[in-house]
Chains A and B, each alone.
Chain A
């Protein structure tokens, strides 16, 4: 255990740790921002995992075909959106159970990505690092936040954009309303399930972009195991943040740190149990959810389907 604490001190003063925390947390943050919007509208969008993977795979394919990172990221968005289309239309047009649909969509994507990856085997490369002058010179957090590959920076404008959408537009007002009280929203003339579908689309696109970022901005290559449950951590980040934008981001960053810690430990020469480290983000998520969930109010109609006349 002594090892563990000296490792902690060492690791938390290591600049690489902060860099990788932002990369890993950033990946989760893309998905979590979108998931926040979907949950605000009343859906626990389990298929965010599938959207991430689809985004990663189609991002890789897009890059392989065009050789362009921006185009690859765009095909990634399309991939995330495709999964969201399945999720949204099956759960909020046909009223199939949202968890069943989400799980199945995840399995479908995993199967398809594995199957097609074997055939197409896309070649990819990591985008170049873009150091933002001045800002990247701040010690510790400077390089972490502003010394990353350029797709990382796409996250930054998405934060105010998502905030603005949720809290300053009519669309966002309606999204929040349908997540709180679908019956009242319906009576007020809002197409509840349409808003919910749109919120899922938004979530899917952001997750798709996150998947693209994973392949093109972080790892540099595609692997079917690359997402490996991080979508679920994105969901946990939303819980962590108790459905606030800032809290969600903080959650993503905390999980990013946990992930980075796992990677940093062996690099710095410490011997800690590998499985324990790998389980750390998940354990942390559970502990945090246990500590936090009851204290905050979730959207009142979260995970409740809406059919007119049925409560």
Chain B
């Protein structure tokens, strides 16, 4: 039974307990992150390298060396966008894990607009971003159709669609009449699309000797917008209601099929936007290639999961993940395979999952206590 908490004793007790649980949580986080870093350090040490050097190189690559933090932000932006889309889906109870594919679809749309259409650069950029969103959203929408018409879990369908997306991109960049670069003087014999023309690049922001595409600003603004959207708007409310209790939603007129499909579409649209932003922001030399997505989709997904559905928390998480990537670029000097970074990332994710899970069990036990019927 919940008491209004009028007794001073009860208040003090509650406060005390809050402090204790905050301290416990901090300790848990320190322990689990420390554990993850320790394992990573051991891995480095096994290969005969010094972890201090590796750590230094990562920091240099991510922030300290000239021009690097701009780079890190450039990488963080699409991850953040992907994560925001994921958050929208998760709030509506939909677990879209096909961002890698939706991102590719968005990039492909951008490549198509940029290389196959004529018009003023600014219009093409905006058109490409919009079409990128639509393409990513439409790709996720396939999963929505399967989920809401036939009950196919979106976890599996979105995943399978990623592998199909790889092939679609492969087809696009190897087929002359689609996106393949027809210029005989193309840089290598690698299969790519033509590069976006100069006027179809996102404007670049220059500050303190660093530069990054304006997509970074978009992404940050969208994070704030998504936070507001979910917490304060009617649509956000509908998504949350659907995610928490689809039956109450249905009862009060929020049809899962419509609201859920919208959420899944938006979720994919953010991934598509991320792809379009990457391409027009200069990823792989403004060219669409088969390996274009470089796991940004997967990592954006992890960012969202670690932020536990809070859009603003996605910002530091995306920067953390991006810094590991850009930092990895400097690992070559230490002789450590850059794939160690994937391992560190995964270990960090597992470590960060642990404290809330432990807290959940603890809270559950307490809640059970107070609601236990006798």
Contact = CB atoms under 8 A, between A and B. Distances in A.
**Are A and B in contact, CB atoms below 8 Å, in the complex?**
yes
Interface string A195-235: 00000000000000000000000000000000011001101
A153 interface: no
Contacts of A90: 350, 353-354, 357
Contacts of B171: 273, 275-276
Contacts of B347: 108
A279 B168 contact: yes
Interface stretch (A16-24, A68-76, A99-107): A99-107
A236 B298 contact: no
B368 A95 contact: no
Interface in B147-165: 149-153, 155-157, 159-164
Interface string A263-285: 00000000001111011001101
B155 A275 contact: no
Contact of A104 (B150, B156, B170, B353): B353
Main secondary structure of the interface of A (DSSP, over half): helix
A99 B155 CA distance: 8
Contacts of A105: 346, 350
A309 B337 contact: no
A29 to B, nearest CB: 18
Interface string B348-374: 011001101110110010001000100
B157 A286 contact: yes
Interface stretch (A6-14, A113-121, A246-254): A113-121
Given A236-B156, A278-B167, A94 B150 contact: no
A274 B171 CA distance: 8
Interface in A27-82: 44, 46
A159 interface: no
B229 interface: no
Contacts of A282: 160-161, 163-164, 167
The number of chain B residues touching the other chain, given as a range, is: 35 or more
A285 B164 CA distance: 11
B164 A309 contact: no
B350 A275 contact: no
Nearest to A119: B47
A85 interface: no
Contacts of B167: 275-276, 278-279, 282
A96 interface: yes
Contact of B337 (A118, A273, A285): A118
A51 B173 CA distance: 33
- Centre residue among A86, A105, A119 by max chain B CB count within 10 A: A119
Interface residues of A, number: 50
Interface in B107-153: 146, 149-153
Given A111-B345, A276-B167, A309 B339 contact: no
B156 A289 contact: yes
A107 B346 contact: yes
Nearest to A228: B163
Interface string B43-63: 100010000000000000000
B104 interface: no
B339 A118 contact: yes
A236 B157 CA distance: 9
A293 interface: yes
B353 A101 contact: yes
- Centre residue among A44, A103, A110, A236 by max chain B CB count within 10 A: A103
- Centre residue among A110, A118, A282 by max chain B CB count within 10 A: A282
B164 A283 contact: yes
Nearest to A310: B364
Nearest to A307: B364
A294 B151 CA distance: 6
A99 B356 CA distance: 16
A111 B339 contact: yes
Contacts of A236: 156, 160
Nearest to A109: B346
Contacts of A168: none
Interface in B51-81: none
B342 interface: yes
Contact of B153 (A44, A96, A97, A275): A44
B164 A289 contact: no
Contacts of B345: 107, 111
- Centre residue among B160, B161, B350, B361 by max chain A CB count within 10 A: B160
B103 interface: no
Contacts of B151: 293-294
B302 interface: yes
B342 A235 contact: no
Interface of A: 44, 46, 86, 90, 94-97, 99-101, 103-105, 107-108, 110-112, 114-115, 118-119, 228-229, 232-233, 235-236, 239, 273-276, 278-279, 282-283, 285-286, 289-291, 293-294, 303, 307-310
20 contacts: A90-B353, A90-B354, A94-B358, A99-B155, A100-B353, A103-B305, A107-B298, A107-B302, A107-B345, A107-B349, A229-B162, A235-B156, A239-B156, A279-B168, A282-B167, A283-B164, A286-B157, A286-B160, A289-B152, A289-B156
Given A95-B360, A235-B156, 10 more contacts: A90-B353, A107-B302, A107-B345, A112-B343, A115-B43, A239-B152, A276-B171, A278-B167, A293-B150, A293-B152
